[in-house]
Amino acid sequence: MSTCAKVSQDLGEPLAGTAATARTWLLVEQPGPWGADALTSSHLDPALGRALERAAEGTGVRVALIRRPGRHADCHTIAERHVYAAHTTPGNVWLHEAVTSDPGHLLTLDLAELGAGLPGTFDTTLGGRPHTGDPLALVCTNGKRDRCCALFGRPLAAELAASGVKGTWEVTHLGGHRFSPTLLVLPFGYAYGRAGAHAVKEVLQGVREGRVVTDGCRGSSAWERPGQAAELALRTALAEDAAGALSVVRTDGGAPCWEVTVAHADGRRWVVTVAQGASSPPRAESCGSALGSPARMDVTAVRELSRGAASSPAAR
């Protein structure tokens, strides 16, 4: 059977620079079936879903639904649901959790505050607290968005859960169906594609040790896509795997070419040139869609700045 994921893999389409962008993730447990636009087409009150979508606009927050792996009973009520908020910007990475019996309380959250990296209203409104358990492995399984997410995502989520990965959740949408199975790992916020269970376990072990595994990585959701590609290229070039070591501090230019300034925690800086190209030959970005040429992010140059240049006004 031909799927967008198989075609993408056969063509060797690169993964870097393809992650969804969100400084902060707000994840709401909602069992049962999900539609293509899950926030307004699940058993979550659609009015609440629409209100959350509107409230999140322009805040840097991305709202998604989650559910435990397995068979999804068509239940319309849930006594309590888990809610997570995670901020992914290096230097202020955190993951908080809460349990609520009234999802309407979500509308009292200050999403602009969450997007800025402040968990205050999440904790005070929902009784949130820092998450102390295993890192979260969020596997995209929404077959209503694309059949590849169901065909490849659900078996991966089930295998991880069955093997004792306690932080496993199914999630509604991470973008990039053709890279299925896809997942997001929190708290650091790196996304992965074409993932197998063994590789995911290595990624999660890295998170526990404060490391980023770059194999199969699509990028950090904290950055726009040119920044994702630049950071991953620099990590590879430096063999740098410390989670908080690199930050995108500036992006100049626009499509099809950017100069991305990436800073190391030790004070070094680089300018990474990223060019936007078109994938060839044409392929479907999603099963059933027309053939197209998805954008790809190619790193064409890496230049280290001198310490003096890095601190000059022109470099900031």
Q: Could you read off the pLDDT of 205-220 as tens digits, one per residue?
A: 999 999 999 999 999 9
Share of residues in the chain with pLDDT > 70 (%):
95
76 — pLDDT class (breaks 50, 70, 90): low
314 — pLDDT class (breaks 50, 70, 90): very low
pLDDT at 196 over 60: yes
C-alpha–C-alpha distance, residues 122 and 110, integer Å: 8
239 — pLDDT class (breaks 50, 70, 90): very high
pLDDT, residue 75, reads: 63
CA–CA–CA angle 56, 170, 247 (5° rounding): 55
pLDDT at 310 over 60: no
Tell me the per-residue pLDDT of 52-66, one tens digit each, with 9 for 90 and over. Answer: 999 999 999 999 999
pLDDT at 316 over 60: no
pLDDT at 73 over 70: no
C-alpha–C-alpha distance, residues 234 and 264, integer Å: 10
Tell me the per-residue pLDDT of 130-150, one tens digit each, with 9 for 90 and over. Answer: 999 999 999 999 888 888 998
pLDDT, residue 72, reads: 60
pLDDT, residue 313, reads: 39
Residue in this structure with the two tokens 């999140």, named with its chain if needed: 56
**β-pair partners for 191:** 184, 219
Q: How many CB atoms lie within 10 A of CB 104?
A: 11
Share of residues in the chain with pLDDT > 90 (%):
84
Backbone angles phi, psi at 236, to 5 degrees: -65, -45
Average of pLDDT values for 164-182?
93
2 — pLDDT class (breaks 50, 70, 90): confident
Tell me the per-residue pLDDT of 7-53, one tens digit each, with 9 for 90 and over. Answer: 999 999 999 999 999 999 999 999 999 998 999 999 999 999 999 99
pLDDT, residue 289, reads: 86
pLDDT, residue 301, reads: 98
pLDDT, residue 308, reads: 62
DSSP for 247-289, please give it. Answer: EEEEEEEETTEEEEEEEETTS-EEEEEEEEEE-SS-EESSTTS
Average of pLDDT values for 195-200?
96
Name the more confident of 276 and 145: 276
Here the tokens at position 162 are 């069955």
Element holding 183 (H helix, E strand): strand 183-186
Question: Poorest-confidence range of 114-128, 177-191, 295-309?
Answer: 295-309
